[in-house]
Amino acid sequence: MSDPLRIGIAGLGTVGAGVIRILQQHADLIAQRAGRRIDVVAVSARSKGKDRGVDLSAYDWVEAAPDLALRDDLDVVVELIGGEDGDAKALLEAALGKGIAAVSANKALLAHHGCALAAKAEQAGVPLMYEAAVAGGIPIIKSLREGFAANDIKAVYGILNGTCNYILTTMRETGRSFADVLKEAQDMGYAEADPTFDVEGIDTAHKLCLLSALAFGVKPDFEKLATCGISTITATDISNAQELGYRIKLLGISKILDGKIIQMVEPCLVPEHSTMGAVEDAFNAVFVEGDFVDTGLAVGRGAGAGPTASAVVADLIDIARGHTGVPVFGVPVDSLADAQWGDPGDMVSRFYMSMIVKDEPGVLAEISAIMRDHDISMEAVQQKARDPQNPVPIVIISHEARQAAIAAAIESVAALDSCVEKPVLMRIESF
Amino acid sequence: MSDPLRIGIAGLGTVGAGVIRILQQHADLIAQRAGRRIDVVAVSARSKGKDRGVDLSAYDWVEAAPDLALRDDLDVVVELIGGEDGDAKALLEAALGKGIAAVSANKALLAHHGCALAAKAEQAGVPLMYEAAVAGGIPIIKSLREGFAANDIKAVYGILNGTCNYILTTMRETGRSFADVLKEAQDMGYAEADPTFDVEGIDTAHKLCLLSALAFGVKPDFEKLATCGISTITATDISNAQELGYRIKLLGISKILDGKIIQMVEPCLVPEHSTMGAVEDAFNAVFVEGDFVDTGLAVGRGAGAGPTASAVVADLIDIARGHTGVPVFGVPVDSLADAQWGDPGDMVSRFYMSMIVKDEPGVLAEISAIMRDHDISMEAVQQKARDPQNPVPIVIISHEARQAAIAAAIESVAALDSCVEKPVLMRIESF
């Protein structure tokens, strides 16, 4: 058996502790599979004294994470600090610069600085691995870089944020409001104290950036990504969708349209009885379409100590086995193209619209005329009168239409005197 | 860029032609991803003159497939002949014996002789890859050997035969009989002229053998696998299942129970609104449970030129990238254990039973007494009287029970004078 793979871990939150737990608990199994032992040599985190439920006594303690890269006894640094800058970035730059392999779970850092870091890794001839950065329980980075490498990829999309999916699932099951369910999720530790990254779709956008780069051979480009989260989704939208046979999911979508990439993060309606519709709670799902493999879908836990740590250790086993010849984003950095972004307005799909209008004669005729004027034909219109004295909700499902036309139509509807609230517009995605 | 990877392909059926089509169509993309070109040097198949829709003029033609291994200009042989013996086996043995890497899509050969072939590959220090052997569109071999390598795997199971799933889906959608739908599938080329391997579960069993070996680190052992196919499934069973909210799927199941492996192939009821239940037509699905990653499910096309060829070429790209350090079955051959097989009778689950009985007073009481005597409690009993002059069908869903108890109970029911047909018993699997 070869020499052990010597690693240093920076960041000992739930994922870092999980990595150590796997490496300790499965030391022999991993050695058998990898052909060598994986030994933790040094660790670094903010607070030394904290009880993390794992025995750290055998490892050197390093105060400042970037100092791990100064050591001469490490083959790999594992970056589990998080954040798109600061110590995480400093550590990876220093390690790769020195020719130490790196494993990271940091989607924000990679979405913003992935290209520069990949160049450093390539120059040093060492791997930069990040399976844990996207949907920990689903080996989607490996699938895109290796499993589907024979394909021209046409589309990659999915449910990439477990917190949002948990909130949407609970809202549907209980009929409660977004704010109410978010509060509970925070109390239970499922959502962060500042939930912005999750619920506004930013975390999904970071992950989608990496998937786009891998799928289409382009530089990760976070700036060009239109993002809409779930904080404005109402219990009414969810029950409307359910009555029509759909569930609302926050999707990250990246697909090729007329040779350009359309990339967006937004809540969509998906058929409740589809495989994607059946993905509930904190589960993630990623859908891939390739020219030869056709369509594939993978479902697994997106977050949590176990699944994320499992992905980190899989990367370490790859490195231990000498599996280090895969370019960071699937092709060498100098082959990564600047993405040509298409206009989401060109996307054609069916849409869900809901609006609250005054219950006056002719309102439905006005709305229908607006749809007709924008060349949008309607599959279903539901007027749900609850109380003749009050405004009434109208739900419309369109046939396939260009997003730009739908957006223009909904703006005209919003401008009607009879429209009393901002209408809601969501794409229907079928799988 | 490094030297091209030089390959020889044996077998030019739909998959072989598909591999050539991908290599020709995506030559540049693959070279970019793999860091070197993948060049076909020689091919071999039964009939030289046949039009396969791809241009073979640049390749040497080799009459006898095993002779590919005699050449000195090949880095890899690709075996797409099929069959558990004959030329396929001869070619792989000769190639690996000579230190030529091998890629195969042959589940039958690997299920029967995988261990010996893996030993040959290991001795020569060359890879034996077989992603295409199981669920071509799902990179499940890679996921088990690499993606989930940090886990102690507890279970792996799924829908592994596209032909069976297509037949069951069509039977459900149309209400037609097995024989009728099979005939149509044969006419359309979806099923073989001799469908035994597919519909009797043998193909699923071959694949399950490989998944078990990978998941649990045991020698593939086809002999010990209990197999039941779908040829006895009736339209009535399918509609009964549907009324109860289930779909019938042919599952290959391998799981750890009390430290032993339970492995079987049988049609099961799965909830129609689960992710597994939503897997229809010719799609495959594989479910994996690991101690850290928790549960994961992947869905994709199981067969067809595109998906299978995509898997073959992914293996070639792995080899071209130098990714050759993964043991054939996840651990070195001398670490593969002889499997300890558990008794399927110990499996606890809910069961579906259907029986046709004479419509006499006391029959239901007799059946209920048998269930009680075997310690089986019933969740639902439906007596569907169609015609008072004729025997009536009874459908029972049990609560969780040991399979051995259920099997004994159903035997007692079958022995009743009032039972006019052999009762049907199927496991209910929830995901």
B137 touches chain A (CB under 8 A): yes
From chain A, the residues in CB contact with B146 under 8 A are: 139, 142, 314, 317-318, 323
**pLDDT of B228-283, one tens digit each?**
999 999 999 999 999 999 999 999 999 999 999 999 999 999 999 888 999 999 99
**What's the confidence (pLDDT) of residue B386?**
62
Q: Measured on CA atoms in the order A380, A385, A389, A391, is the torsion positive or negative?
A: negative
In this predicted structure, the answer to whether residue A224 has a pLDDT above a threshold of 90 is no
Give the Cα separation of B220 and A49 in Å (integer): 48
- The answer to whether B139 contacts A149, with C-beta atoms less than 8 Å apart, is no
**pLDDT of A26-39, one tens digit each?**
999 999 999 999 99
The interface residues of chain B toward chain A in range 260-279, judged by CB-CB distance below 8 A, are 272-275, 277-279
Which residue of chain A has the CA closest to B308?
A293
Q: Bin B152: left if φ > 0, else alpha if -120 < ψ < 50, else beta.
A: beta
As a whole number of angstroms, the longest Cα–Cα distance in chain B is: 83
Q: Which of B280, B297, B333 is the best residue to mutate to test the A interface, defined by the most A CB atoms within 10 Å of its own CB? A: B297
Residue B404, min C-alpha distance to chain A (Å): 32
Domain A140-301 fold: Dihydrodipicolinate Reductase; domain 2 (3.30.360)
Architecture per CATH, B5-134+308-316:
3-Layer(aba) Sandwich (3.40)
A151 touches chain B (CB under 8 A): yes
Contact criterion met (CB below 8 Å) for A331 and A149: no
Give the Cα separation of B323 and B315 in Å (integer): 9
- The answer to whether B325 contacts A327, with C-beta atoms less than 8 Å apart, is no
Region(s) of chain A under CATH 3.30.360.10? 140-301
- Choosing from B89, B107, B142, B207, the catalytic residue is B207
pLDDT-derived band at A228 (thresholds 50, 70, 90) equals very high
Residue B312, min C-alpha distance to chain A (Å): 9
From chain B, the residues in CB contact with A147 under 8 A are: 131, 139, 142-143, 311, 314
In this predicted structure, the answer to whether residue B181 has a pLDDT above a threshold of 90 is yes
**What's the confidence (pLDDT) of residue A226?**
85
The interface residues of chain B toward chain A in range 33-62, judged by CB-CB distance below 8 A, are 33-35
Beta-carbon count within 10 A of A429 CB: 21
- The answer to whether B317 contacts A278, with C-beta atoms less than 8 Å apart, is no
Q: Tell me if the pTM is above 0.90.
A: yes
- The answer to whether A296 contacts B298, with C-beta atoms less than 8 Å apart, is yes
**pLDDT of B109-121, one tens digit each?**
999 999 999 999 9
From chain A, the residues in CB contact with B317 under 8 A are: 146, 149-150
Q: Report the percentage of chain A scoring pLDDT > 90.
A: 90
Which of A385-394, B208-217, B251-260, B292-301 is predicted least confidently? A385-394
**What's the confidence (pLDDT) of residue A274?**
86
- The answer to whether B323 contacts A327, with C-beta atoms less than 8 Å apart, is no
The full DSSP string for B112-157 is HHHHHHHHHHHHHT--EE-GGGS-TTS-HHHIIIIITTTS-EEEEE
Give the Cα separation of A127 and A309 in Å (integer): 18
Give Cα separations from B18 to A291, B66, B213, B316 (angstroms).
12, 21, 28, 14
From chain A, the residues in CB contact with B311 under 8 A are: 147, 150, 293
Residue B348: beta bridge partners?
B402
* Segment (H or E) for A226: strand A226-227
**What's the confidence (pLDDT) of residue A303?**
80
pLDDT-derived band at B126 (thresholds 50, 70, 90) equals very high
**What's the confidence (pLDDT) of residue A89?**
98
**What's the confidence (pLDDT) of residue A193?**
87
Which of B64-73, B328-337, B377-386, B393-402 is predicted least confidently? B377-386
Mean pLDDT on A76-104:
97
- Choosing from A142, A207, A249, A255, the catalytic residue is A207
- The answer to whether A294 contacts B317, with C-beta atoms less than 8 Å apart, is no
Q: What is the mean pLDDT of chain B?
A: 95
**What's the confidence (pLDDT) of residue B385?**
67
**What's the confidence (pLDDT) of residue A284?**
97
Beta-carbon count within 10 A of B308 CB: 28
Mean pLDDT on B393-409:
96
Region(s) of chain B under CATH 3.30.70.260? 347-428
- The answer to whether A273 contacts B273, with C-beta atoms less than 8 Å apart, is yes
Residue B339 has phi, psi (to 5 degrees) of: -65, 140
**What's the confidence (pLDDT) of residue B192?**
86
**pLDDT of B360-390, one tens digit each?**
888 999 999 999 999 999 999 988 766 667 8
A98 is catalytic: no
**What's the confidence (pLDDT) of residue B121?**
98
pLDDT-derived band at A385 (thresholds 50, 70, 90) equals low
Q: What is the mean pLDDT of chain A?
A: 95
| More confident of the two residues A361 and B347 | B347
Give the Cα separation of A316 and A20 in Å (integer): 12
Q: What angle do CA B55, B60, B61 make, to 5 degrees?
A: 85
Quote the radius of gyration of chain B (alpha carbons, Å). Answer: 24
From chain B, the residues in CB contact with A148 under 8 A are: 139, 310, 314
> How would you list the strands of the sheet with B38-44, edge to edge?
B60-61, B38-44, B5-10, B76-79, B101-104, B128-129
- The answer to whether A298 contacts B293, with C-beta atoms less than 8 Å apart, is no
**pLDDT of B14-38, one tens digit each?**
999 999 999 999 999 999 999 999 9
Which residue of chain A has the CA closest to B214?
A33
**pLDDT of A288-298, one tens digit each?**
999 999 999 99
**Pair type for strands A128-129 and A101-104:** parallel
**What's the confidence (pLDDT) of residue A351?**
98
Which of A51-60, A185-194, B202-211 is predicted least confidently? A185-194
B330 touches chain A (CB under 8 A): yes
The interface residues of chain B toward chain A in range 195-254, judged by CB-CB distance below 8 A, are 217
Which of A86-90, A221-225, B51-55, B234-238 is predicted least confidently? A221-225
Which residue of chain B has the CA closest to A291?
B306
Q: Which of B29, B139, B296 sits opposite A137 (nearest CB)?
A: B296
Contact criterion met (CB below 8 Å) for B188 and B281: no
Residue B102: beta bridge partners?
B77, B128
Place domain A347-428 in its CATH homologous superfamily.
ACT domain (3.30.70.260)
Q: Which of B292, B312, B335, B336 is the best residue to mutate to test the A interface, defined by the most A CB atoms within 10 Å of its own CB? A: B292
In this predicted structure, the answer to whether residue A1 has a pLDDT above a threshold of 90 is no
- The answer to whether A30 contacts B314, with C-beta atoms less than 8 Å apart, is no
Half-sphere exposure of A431 (CA within 13 A, CB side): 37
In this predicted structure, the answer to whether residue B431 has a pLDDT above a threshold of 70 is no
In this predicted structure, the answer to whether residue A431 has a pLDDT above a threshold of 70 is no
